[in-house]
Amino acid sequence: MTNLQNDLFIRALLKQPVERTPVWMMRQAGRYLPEYRQVRSKAGSFMQLCTNPELACEVTLQPLARFNFDAAILFSDILTIPDAMGLGLSFSEGEGPQFANPIKTADDVKNLPIPDPDIELRYVIDAVRLIKQNLHNRVPLIGFSGSPWTLATYMVEGKSSKNFQKVKALMFEQPQVMHQLLDKLARSVAAYLNAQIAAGADVVMVFDTWGGMLSHDDYLEFSLRYAHQVRELLNTQSQGRKIPTILFTKGGGLWLEAMAGSGFDALGLDWQTDIGAARARVGAQVALQGNLDPISLYASPTVIREKVAKILQDFGHGSGHVFNLGHGILPDINPEHVKAMVDAVQELSPVYHGLG
């Protein structure tokens, strides 16, 4: 049992009955909100914002003051672990993340430390505690990490990539080195998420942003295998309550059955996956989260409402659905369009739960 005032999100992830479909949004704390931009400016840089627990707490709570979201998500970045490993993370305008010391050799992998979350990543754990205190149990708090594969792509490429030439070359030419890197990352991710759970996170999510860039066999061997390892290492019981887990692979619609067998309670779906078909394939095993096209939030509130209605209809009756975007919200979306989405979910979904 939870002591949350609103536990719809938890119940839906565990496929328990709900009164309506819960809703939250990837990147819900971010640049589309003018109040976020003010705090970001005050912080001086994105990394200074991420590493300041008080400011991270402030921006985590901002969207809850505007919208009736059913969950908060920790404000942080997926690349905190590689940064804590000493790779020298920085962000530049228009360029995205970059590492000063990318992985190039087997020795680089061998010499990587596994960060202690309570030391090298203490600022994140402190932020989780502070956010949890300031939420006053209104809604659940989501902790998260990048997946081992996704972290590896940035660590080897040194930055964002279009073709993933360096990381795939390492994977093809020296698969044993890649496995060593991914194993080290899986243990690091699990320790990081376990520390977030111990600090108060009610749900944890693994973002596999670049798993969809792999071939069928390579996805199973180099991405899903290590997401499963993370799941196996998680402490999903905390203070007498179950901590639900979510796996999101962008472009992962081809592997839903395998993903459903990896131990996670829920799968995030991108917007290219038909949610009704996904439910028919795996819905008995896992809850599903998604999957409105983020671009649709540029449309009018009337169109947004129609798009929301279609996804709710496609999923159908019963629990096990968390409404979300199929990826993160874009920076120049009108906040009023987010409100239109949230309002539509809350107004239209009760009929699918026997209350409409």
Q: Which of 20, 27, 279, 305 is catalytic?
A: 27
83 is in an annotated binding site: no
Q: Which of 32, 36, 154, 192 is catalytic?
A: 154
154 is in an annotated binding site: yes
Note the Cα 256 to chain centre separation in Å.
Answer: 17
225 is in an annotated binding site: no
Instruction: Give the tokens for residue 215.
Output: 């071939």
Q: Which of 7, 20, 32, 40 is catalytic?
A: 40
28 is in an annotated binding site: yes
**What residue type is 239 in one-letter code?**
Q
279 is in an annotated binding site: no
31 assigned to active site: yes
305 assigned to active site: no
Angle at 4 between CA 189 and CA 122, to 5 degrees: 30
203 within 8 A of 197, measured Cβ to Cβ? no
77 is in an annotated binding site: yes
209 is in an annotated binding site: yes
CB-count exposure of residue 347 (10 Å: 0-12, 13-18, 19+)? middle
2 is in an annotated binding site: no
Q: Which of 7, 70, 77, 202 is catalytic?
A: 77
129 is in an annotated binding site: no
154 assigned to active site: yes
40 assigned to active site: yes
Residues involved in catalysis = 27, 31, 40, 77, 154
> Could you tell me which residues are annotated as the binding site for substrate?
27-31, 77, 154, 209, 327
> Could you tell me which residues are annotated as the binding site?
27-31, 77, 154, 209, 327
